[in-house]
């Protein structure tokens, strides 16, 4: 399937896929309803937003950045979408507006990070908090409930017995796989993440790539906002509170290096499924859901630890930057000078 010279996922991603398979096997043995059609459908419906938001998160983490504001942006978009469908605006127009709002908010992040050079974690921490206040203000202390089921069919209607939303997610993943692999923009994400200085020296416009990445990430959150409304039929003030943590966890569990420069969408998708299946298992086993956060936190720690161990081995193998090559020193000693 992959030509050897086309960039492809590394061994770290296969580790996540293997763990995912083991997890599925475990739950299908020990949890009765796990493999039931209803449960699998639920997994697909519930993981859709996380799955696509994690694409944008993968982009910015490969760049060496992060985006904490995804949950707040999701909230703002969902409220706008909710109000628009209540007023009976054309669904296609609503979709375009949702993506446009998401992109504009992402663009603000991008400009703060790319132009003003504010560290991504601080920039998006700030915009996240501003965004949460906006969500609170827009809702005015009430739920936005009883929304007309304009977008609900993407969750409930099925093709070959599979919810439509699954195909939407698959389509977006395919599109971004193409961007990550076949567009110079996608490859430059990796270049900037690995060696920002060298990226400048080969004439890559890092500022532009960064701004664009955060904007695209915002646009994807716009689509996730529609999925949220379709799934819930309402918007509450705590919307998307868990989203940044879960998306970052999915990306990191999927093998993307938190230091940037390495990672893939295949890994991210595996990471998303890993987290969703785990959450599902917790519910089936009747574990109190407050443990969910603790487990996700633990998984982040384990994944990053694995990365550190792998990196140490790589550096040991590569051992560059020393004044003398070992081989040379040996030769010098043999020649006796």
Partner 1 sequence: MTGEVLFTLNGVSKSFGGIKALQNVNMKVNKGEVLSIIGENGAGKSTLMKIIAGALQSDTGKIEFEGNEVKINNTQDAIDIGISIVYQEPNVFAELSVLENLFIGEEVKTKFGSIDWPEMYRQAAEALELVDLPTYTLNEMMGDLSIGNQQLVLIARGLHRQSKLLILDEPTSILSQAESEKLFALIAELKENGVSILYISHRIPEILRISDQMIVLRDGKVTETFSANEATENRIITAMSGREINSDIYRLRDYYDEKPIIKVNNLSKSKMFHDISFSIKPGEILGVYGLVGSGRSEVARTLFGELAMDSGNIEFEGKKLTKHSTNNAVRKGIYYVPEDRGTQGNFSLHSIKYNLSAAFLPTMSNKFGVLNLNDEKKIIQKNVEKYSIKTKNMEDLIISLSGGNQQKVLLSRWLINTPRVLILDEPTRGIDIGTKTEIHELILTLAESGVAVLLISSDLPEVMRLSDRIMTFHKGRITGFTNRENMTEDGVLRKALGLIS
Name which position in 37, 159, 201, 290 contacts partner 1 (CB under 8 A): 201
Rule CB under 8 A: which of 246-305 touch partner 1?
261-262
Position 1 contacts partner 1 (CB under 8 A): no
Q: CB burial class (10 A; 0-12, 13-18, 19+) of residue 150?
A: buried
Looking at beta carbons only, is 10 or 42 nearer to partner 1? 10
CA distance 272 to 249: 8
CA distance 237 to 181: 38
Q: With residue 306 as reference, give the H or E element that holds it.
A: helix 290-318
List helix spans (H) across 115-253: 120-139, 153-156, 164-182, 184-194, 196-201, 206-232, 243-253
Q: Which DSSP letter does residue 3 get?
A: -
Compute the radius of gyration of the chain from its Cα atoms. 22
In whole angstroms, the minimum distance from the beta carbon of 204 to partner 1 comes to: 5
Q: How many other CB atoms are found less than 10 A from the CB of residue 17?
A: 19
From 71-79, 155-163, 234-242, 328-336, give the range in contact with partner 1 by CB under 8 A.
328-336
From 12-20, 31-39, 176-184, 275-283, give the range in contact with partner 1 by CB under 8 A.
176-184
Name which position in 5, 92, 116, 161 contacts partner 1 (CB under 8 A): 5
- Which whole-number Å values give the CA distances from 82 to 93, 203, 231, 233, 235, in the listed order? 13, 44, 12, 8, 8
Position 182 contacts partner 1 (CB under 8 A): yes
From 19-27, 187-195, 233-241, 268-276, give the range in contact with partner 1 by CB under 8 A.
187-195
Position 206 contacts partner 1 (CB under 8 A): no
Looking at beta carbons only, is 136 or 178 nearer to partner 1? 178
Position 117 contacts partner 1 (CB under 8 A): no
Degrees, nearest 5: CA angle 26-31-33: 125
Position 9 contacts partner 1 (CB under 8 A): no
Looking at beta carbons only, is 183 or 293 nearer to partner 1? 183
Looking at beta carbons only, is 225 or 255 nearer to partner 1? 255
Looking at beta carbons only, is 38 or 197 nearer to partner 1? 197
Q: Which DSSP letter does residue 136 get?
A: H
Give me 4's structure tokens.
Answer: 């050897």
What residues line the site for partner 1 (CB under 8 A)?
A: 3-7, 178, 181-184, 187-188, 190-191, 193-195, 197-199, 201-204, 261-262, 314, 317-329, 331-333, 336-337
């Amino acid at each position: 399937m992959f030509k050897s010279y086309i960039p492809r996922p590394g061994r770290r991603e296969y580790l996540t896929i293997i763990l995912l398979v083991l997890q599925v096997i475990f739950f299908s043995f020990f949890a009765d309803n796990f493999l039931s059609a209803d449960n699998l459908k639920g997994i697909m419906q519930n993981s859709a937003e996380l799955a696509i938001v994690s694409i944008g998160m993968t982009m910015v983490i490969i760049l060496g950045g992060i985006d904490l504001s995804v949950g707040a942006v999701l909230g703002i978009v969902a409220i706008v979408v909710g109000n628009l469908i209540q007023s009976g605006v054309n669904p296609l127009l609503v979709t375009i507006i949702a993506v446009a709002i998401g992109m504009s908010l992402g663009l603000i992040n991008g400009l703060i990070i790319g132009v003003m050079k504010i560290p991504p974690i601080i920039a998006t921490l700030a915009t996240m908090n501003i965004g949460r206040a906006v969500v609170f203000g827009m809702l005015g202390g009430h739920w936005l409930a009883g929304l007309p089921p304009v977008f609900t069919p993407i969750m409930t209607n099925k093709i070959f017995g599979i919810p439509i939303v699954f195909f939407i997610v698959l389509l977006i993943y395919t599109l971004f796989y193409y961007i990550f692999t076949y567009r110079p923009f996608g490859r430059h994400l990796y270049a900037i993440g690995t060696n920002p200085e060298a990226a400048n020296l080969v004439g890559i416009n890092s500022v532009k790539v960064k701004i664009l990445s955060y904007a695209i990430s915002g646009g994807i959150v716009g689509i996730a906002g529609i999925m949220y409304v379709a799934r819930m039929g309402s918007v509450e003030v705590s919307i998307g509170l868990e989203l940044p943590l879960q998306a970052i966890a999915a990306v990191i569990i999927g093998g993307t290096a938190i230091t940037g420069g390495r990672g893939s969408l295949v890994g991210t998708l595996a990471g998303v499924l890993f987290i969703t299946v785990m959450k599902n298992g917790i519910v089936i086993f009747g574990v109190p859901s407050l443990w969910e956060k603790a487990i996700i936190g633990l998984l982040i720690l384990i994944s990053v630890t694995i990365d550190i161990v792998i990196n140490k081995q790589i550096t040991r193998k590569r051992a560059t930057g020393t004044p003398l090559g070992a081989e040379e020193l040996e030769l010098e000693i043999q020649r006796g000078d």
